[in-house]
């Protein structure tokens, strides 16, 4: 009656899995609790951002102390610089960065900057990658756009759409052909180096390296959208994992520790083109909000402690081997893609390496799987085309329960 579809972001509505979404009362550690008294082990983790789990004491306590001093000033604060320094330390390719309020704002601003810096118009993106909901990206996009099966959003003008070149993910040959032909028109190339919005599909190393090579050769701005992979696949994100530095990086989710934050940053000569230093305009009333900065700062401090990513890998591996062993025992062939603490179980027998292969998944069976798991107290993403996230609050016991539920659920489905 009051909100379109009852939700403020489409995938929350359970449209592709059916049924009605539960309404949340609270989150604590690895669990989410609904207003009807049910609890679930949470693998959505607020779409990846809750890497410390729900309500982490270090963050909550820091926020309690911070809000005593006010909520927003619209003038610079020290905590903005402190968080910027911390991020730069973890992701050395970032020499300067600007905070915004969401991942969408980060990617939208990064492509404007790429255009302003190069004086060219076209942007290359890859099918099934999701970069938020700015007009330029809503063509063959992942996440909710894929979930709802939309080829593109209406309301995006043909003029805008013609400046976006969409290419298949992980296809080196196609990419090379297009860039060799059109490089004089291309301002920037944006990709999720680990795609997390068509299930989970890590880029092949050769693909990433070719992109870096050609963008360097033709002075095209290479933008890594690390809104999911940043501080997730490694402290330094996917760029650390692949050892390939982009020109610009977009961040979001984890760096806000549960509050609305995004950021884009990278090469100094490019970032210096942003107002007030340069002619590319970008601003925000709440950008760098001190409360949100505090949540991000505390979260990253926690992630900088020893063995954090080893722990996430251990839990991710345990879940993977449990599910693979269930599949073996039941004689079912499904694809499982994982990198550290993010994973996706694809309901297809064929290897999943791009959007087309991800779309071969049996989404109807995934929908039934989702509800089987939910009924057993496990909250998975309500779409085949989203990632599963493990947090530092997940325990070995949570993983064992999940493996058991996975066995019982798969048994009912095949």
Return residues touching ligand PLP (CB under 6 A): 47, 102-104, 107, 130-132, 143, 192, 196-197, 225, 227-228, 252, 262
Q: Which is nearer to ligand PLP, 199 or 409 (CB)?
A: 199
From CA 324, how far away is CA 147, in angstroms rounded?
25
From CA 303, how far away is CA 240, in angstroms rounded?
15
Work out how close the CB of 107 gets to ligand PLP at its nearest, in angstroms, rounded to a whole number: 5
**Catalytically annotated residues:** 130, 225, 253
Q: Which is nearer to ligand PLP, 49 or 312 (CB)?
A: 49
CA distances 36 to 11, 18, 46, 372, 380, Å, are: 21, 19, 20, 18, 18
Q: Which is nearer to ligand PLP, 143 or 298 (CB)?
A: 143
From CA 31, how far away is CA 45, in angstroms rounded?
9
Q: Which is nearer to ligand PLP, 224 or 379 (CB)?
A: 224
Residues in Cβ contact with 348 at an 8 Å cutoff, skipping those fewer than 6 apart: 334, 335, 357, 360, 361, 362
Work out how close the CB of 16 gets to ligand PLP at its nearest, in angstroms, rounded to a whole number: 16
CA distances 402 to 248, 268, 327, Å, are: 38, 45, 14
Work out how close the CB of 323 gets to ligand PLP at its nearest, in angstroms, rounded to a whole number: 23
- Length of the chain equals 414
Q: Which is nearer to ligand PLP, 132 or 202 (CB)?
A: 132
DSSP 297-363: HHHHHHHTSTTHHHHHHHHHHHHHHHHHHHHHHHT---EEEEETTEEEEES-SS---SHHHHTTS-H
Work out how close the CB of 196 gets to ligand PLP at its nearest, in angstroms, rounded to a whole number: 6
Is the Cβ–Cβ distance between 326 and 410 less than 8 Å?
A: yes
Kind and range of the H or E run holding 289: none
């Amino acid at each position: 009656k009051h909100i379109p579809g009852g939700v403020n972001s489409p995938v929350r509505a359970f449209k592709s899995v059916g049924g009605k979404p539960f309404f949340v009362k609270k989150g604590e550690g690895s669990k989410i609790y609904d207003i009807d008294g049910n609890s679930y082990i949470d693998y959505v983790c607020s779409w990846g951002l809750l890497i410390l789990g729900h309500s982490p004491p270090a963050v909550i306590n820091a926020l309690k102390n911070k809000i005593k001093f006010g909520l927003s000033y619209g003038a610079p604060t020290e905590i903005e610089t402190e968080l910027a320094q911390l991020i730069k330390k973890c992701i050395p390719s970032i020499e300067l960065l600007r905070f915004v309020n969401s991942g969408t704002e980060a990617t939208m601003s990064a492509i404007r900057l790429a255009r302003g810096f190069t004086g060219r118009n076209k942007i290359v993106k890859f099918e099934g990658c999701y970069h938020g909901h700015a007009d330029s990206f809503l063509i063959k996009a992942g996440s909710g756009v894929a979930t709802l099966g939309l080829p593109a959003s209406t309301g995006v003008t043909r003029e805008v759409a013609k400046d976006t070149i969409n290419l298949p993910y992980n296809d080196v040959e196609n990419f090379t052909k297009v860039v060799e032909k059109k490089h004089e028109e291309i301002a920037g190339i944006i990709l999720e180096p680990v795609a997390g919005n068509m299930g989970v599909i890590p880029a092949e190393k050769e693909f990433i390296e070719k992109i870096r090579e050609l963008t360097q050769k033709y002075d095209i701005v290479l933008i890594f959208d690390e809104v999911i992979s940043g501080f997730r696949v490694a402290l330094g994100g996917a760029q650390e994992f692949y050892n390939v530095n982009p020109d610009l990086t977009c961040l979001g989710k984890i760096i806000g520790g549960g509050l609305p934050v995004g950021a884009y940053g990278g090469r100094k000569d490019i970032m210096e083109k942003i107002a007030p230093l340069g002619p590319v305009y970008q601003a925000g009333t709440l950008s760098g909000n001190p409360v949100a900065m505090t949540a991000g700062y505390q979260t990253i401090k926690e992630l900088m402690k020893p063995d954090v990513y080893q722990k996430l890998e251990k839990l991710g591996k345990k879940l993977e081997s449990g599910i693979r062993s269930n599949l073996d025992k039941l004689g079912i062939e499904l694809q499982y893609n994982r990198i550290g603490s993010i994973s996706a179980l694809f309901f297809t027998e064929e290897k999943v390496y791009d959007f087309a292969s991800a779309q071969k998944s049996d989404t109807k069976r995934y929908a039934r799987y989702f509800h089987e798991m939910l009924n057993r107290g496990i909250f998975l993403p309500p779409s085949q085309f989203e990632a599963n996230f493990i947090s530092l609050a997940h325990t070995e016991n949570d993983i064992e329960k999940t493996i058991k539920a996975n066995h019982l659920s798969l048994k009912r489905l095949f």
